């Protein structure tokens, strides 16, 4: 028996070595999961130097990860920090502190902040009442720093440091374990020239987060306050309409339909850029009943403003890959199903995301059937797709070992083994003949090039001939010895 096993191990090793020597006949393509490769196929090619430092895509309904690359890299998200400010403003409205029609009267400090060239992207006039809904539009689209501070002061009753602490407390509550906030807008406190100065907060501190944490934040924002999308889904917005203070802004989200790199289904959410953070982007996109959340961080360099556009090519490519690779469908029907050789009864139809042309797998635990996913959940606080089940009362009868043998006689197993041997033998024989044909072809080609090669076969033709003979012998051996 030992000699028999050794013989077949030796033959297998030799054949593998022969295949490698002949140029790797079998190759595996990893292009499906290579960002630079699939971006070309998507029609949104990513240029060298503009590959995101980190990215992630999740299902907005379940929190299932569909794509990730360095999702836990610590990064300065720049103006994406404003998303947490918007979250806390929506939460305050939910608590009844104010509503979208509540107005905020502009102070001298607000006017002065709006006049700082490095921070300014909209005008604020002294004594004017700005409705919260207009402040939201200013924050979301032109990424107004002064509007963000005005909104944060409304939420915190002008407790600037208290608002920063609230941002960090909410991040911890949501499971954003690698995020720290030092300001409400994404701009360092020191850039405000003393006009915005939360006590006890490092004025040079940059907000830090990760693609994963920002996806968690956006997941919770859309789950609890989906109305945020009304402020992020238009390529052009007008604030303070029909007043002397009316302004029109074009979005920096160039993936919105109607913008420069419009992608079907995109309806938000926020961009951000800074000298230390480069160009960043959170996108939400919906096709049919499927909504995805995407975060892209660190595209390009601040010194090259092309990154403002290139982040959207990268974002579109990654979104397109997720939409084309996965599908949301019914995985199991309500009622009786067999999972892991157990008969179970599901309370309802079970839907989920799976890769196209693949079979889903499930886990059964504590009366919950859960979909197993390749990349898992974006946060342990967000449970995977699951459905309640009950085990069927019908138990399979345990037969005595003698009865089992009667049910599965020995000659049946022998017949199955014989059939397998015939298949294996046929495959080996076919490969052997193919190698012999290749050997003859190589020999003929070289004889046409050089007279000398008619007498001296090339190394390649020798290897092919030898491999072919060994494969034929292996085919015969399979029938005789196995």
Question: What CATH number has the domain bearing residue 68?
Answer: 3.40.710.10
- The residue among 311, 326, 341 that closes a domain is 326
- Structure confidence at residue 264 (pLDDT): 94
User: What is the CB neighbour count within 10 angstroms for residue 214?
Assistant: 32
Cβ(65)–Cβ(57) below 8 Å:
yes
Q: Last residue of some domain: 274, 300, 326?
A: 326
Q: Is residue 179 part of a domain?
A: yes
pTM of the model: 0.75
Token output for 347: 């309370």
Return d(Cα 378, Cα 176) in angstroms, integer: 10
Q: What is residue 70's DSSP assignment?
A: S
CA distances to 69, 394, 441, 460 from 438, rounded to whole Å, are: 43, 59, 5, 9
Asked about 401 being catalytic, the answer comes back as: no
Query: How much is the pLDDT for 414?
Result: 45
The residue annotated as part of the active site, out of 143, 179, 184, 185, is: 143
Measured CA to CA, the distance from residue 410 to residue 417 in angstroms comes to 11
Structural domains counted in the chain:
3
Residues that constitute the known binding site:
270
**pLDDT number for residue 374:** 87
13 is a domain residue:
no
Nearest Cα residue to 429 out of 468, 464, 481: 468
Compute the chain's Rg from CA coordinates: 32
Kindly state whether residues 369 and 463 are assigned to the same domain: no
- In tens, the pLDDT along 274-303 reads 999 999 999 999 999 899 999 999 999 888
Clarify whether residues 470 and 369 are in a common domain.
no
**What's the confidence (pLDDT) of residue 413?**
47
Domain co-membership, 313 together with 365: no
79 is catalytic: yes
Same structural domain, 316 and 274: yes
Q: Is residue 163 part of a domain?
A: yes
Residue 399 lies in a domain: no
55 and 186 fall within a common domain: yes
Check whether residue 202 and residue 232 sit in a common domain.
yes
Residue of 62, 82, 166, 439 marked active site: 82
Residue 78 makes CB contacts below 8 A (sequence gap 6+) with 186, 207, 272, 273, 274, 277, 280
- Determine the pLDDT at residue 444: 55
Q: Does 345 lie in the same domain as 312?
A: no
CATH number of the CATH domain containing 340: 2.30.140.20
Residue 200 counted as domain residue: yes
State how far the Cα of 474 lies from the Cα of 469, in Å rounded to an integer: 9
Domain enclosing residue 360, as ranges: 328-391
Tell me phi and psi for residue 52, to 5 degrees: -60, 145
Does one domain contain both 333 and 312?
no
Mean pLDDT for back-to-back runs of 10 residues, the chain (482 residues): 46 43 33 73 84 96 95 97 98 98 97 92 94 97 96 97 98 98 96 95 96 98 97 95 96 93 94 94 94 96 90 94 92 92 91 90 91 93 91 56 42 52 68 70 54 49 72 65 54
The residues, any chain, with a CB within 8 Å of residue 225's CB and separated by 6 or more, are 87, 90, 91, 94
Question: 62 and 105, same structural domain?
Answer: yes
∠ Cα 298 300 302 (to 5°): 95
CA dist 77 and 275 (Å) reads 11
Cα 397 versus chain centre, distance: 46
Contact 27, 271 (CB under 8 A): no
- Tell me, yes or no, whether 257 and 360 share the same domain: no
Among candidate residues 326, 346, 365, the one where a domain is terminated: 326
Spatial distance between the Cα atoms of 145 and 419, rounded to a whole number of angstroms: 74
- Per-residue model confidence (pLDDT) at position 455: 43
Reduced 3-state DSSP string for 342-375: EEEEECCCEEEEEECCCCCEEEEECCEEEEECCC
Q: What are the phi and psi torsion angles at 246 (to 5°)?
A: -65, 135
Give the C-alpha separation, 277 to 299, whole Å. Answer: 9
Note whether residue 437 is domain-resident: yes
Helices (H), 188-293: 211-224
Residue 121's pLDDT is 80
Sorted by sequence, the CB contacts under 8 Å of residue 71 that are 6+ apart come out as: 54, 55, 56, 65, 210, 211, 212, 215
Does residue 453 belong to any structural domain of this protein?
yes
Q: Is 455 a catalytic residue?
A: no
Q: Tell whether 96 is covered by a domain.
A: yes
Annotated binding site for substrate: 270
Same domain, residue pair 242 and 110: yes
Distance (Å, whole) CA 44 – CA 271: 19
Report DSSP state, residue 189.
G
Q: Do 85 and 195 lie in a common domain?
A: yes
Candidate list 39, 42, 79, 185, residue with the active-site label: 79
User: What are the contacts of 433-436 at 24+ separation with CB within 8 A?
Assistant: 433/468, 433/472, 434/468, 435/464, 435/465, 435/467, 435/468, 435/471, 436/464, 436/465, 436/468, 436/469, 436/472
């Amino acid at each position: 028996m030992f000699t028999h096993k050794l013989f077949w191990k030796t033959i297998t090793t030799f054949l593998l070595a022969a295949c490698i020597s002949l140029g790797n006949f079998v190759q595996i393509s990893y292009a499906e999961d290579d960002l630079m490769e699939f971006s070309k196929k998507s029609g949104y090619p990513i240029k060298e130097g503009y590959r995101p430092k980190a990215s992630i895509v999740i299902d907005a309904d379940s929190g299932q990860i569909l794509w990730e690359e360095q999702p836990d890299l610590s990064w300065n998200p720049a103006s994406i920090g404003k998303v947490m400010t918007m979250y806390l403003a929506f939460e305050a409205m939910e608590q009844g502190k104010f509503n979208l029609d509540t107005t905020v009267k502009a102070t001298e400090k607000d006017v002065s902040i709006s006049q700082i060239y490095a921070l300014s992207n909209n005008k604020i006039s002294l004594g004017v009442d700005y409705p919260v809904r207009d402040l939201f539009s200013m924050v979301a689209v032109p990424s107004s720093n002064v509007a963000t501070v005005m909104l944060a002061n409304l939420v915190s009753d002008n407790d600037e440091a208290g608002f920063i602490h609230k941002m960090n407390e909410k991040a911890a509550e949501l499971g954003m374990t690698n995020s720290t906030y030092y300001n409400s807008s994404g701009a360092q406190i020191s850039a405000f020239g003393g006009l915005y100065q939360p006590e006890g907060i490092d004025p040079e501190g940059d907000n830090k987060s990760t693609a994963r944490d920002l996806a968690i934040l956006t997941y919770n924002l859309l789950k609890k306050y989906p109305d945020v999308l009304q402020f992020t889904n238009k390529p052009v917005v007008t604030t303070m309409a029909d007043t002397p203070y009316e302004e029109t802004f074009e979005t920096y989200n160039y993936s919105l339909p109607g913008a420069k790199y419009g992608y079907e289904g995109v309806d938000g959410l926020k961009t951000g850029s800074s000298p230390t953070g480069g160009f960043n982007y959170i996108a939400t996109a919906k096709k049919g009943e499927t909504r995805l959340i995407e975060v892209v961080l660190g595209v390009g360099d601040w010194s090259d403003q092309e990154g403002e556009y290139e982040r959207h090519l990268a974002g579109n490519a990654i979104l397109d890959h997720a939409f084309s690779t996965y599908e949301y469908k019914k995985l199991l029907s309500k009622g009786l199903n067999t999972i892991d050789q157990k008969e179970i009864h599901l309370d309802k139809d079970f839907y989920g995301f799976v890769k196209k042309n693949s079979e889903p797998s499930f886990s059964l635990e504590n009366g919950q059937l859960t979909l197993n996913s390749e990349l898992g959940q974006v946060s342990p606080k967000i449970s995977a797709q699951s459905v309640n089940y009950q085990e069927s009362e019908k138990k399979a009868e345990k037969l005595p070992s003698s009865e089992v043998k009667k049910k599965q006689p020995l000659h049946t197993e022998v017949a199955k083994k014989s059939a397998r041997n015939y298949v294996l033998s046929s495959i080996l024989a076919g490969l052997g003949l193919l190698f012999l044909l290749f050997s003859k072809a190589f020999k003929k080609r070289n004889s046409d090039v050089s007279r000398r090669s008619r007498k001296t076969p090339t190394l390649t033709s020798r290897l092919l001939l030898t491999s072919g003979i060994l494969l034929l012998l292996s085919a015969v051996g399979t029938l005789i010895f196995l």
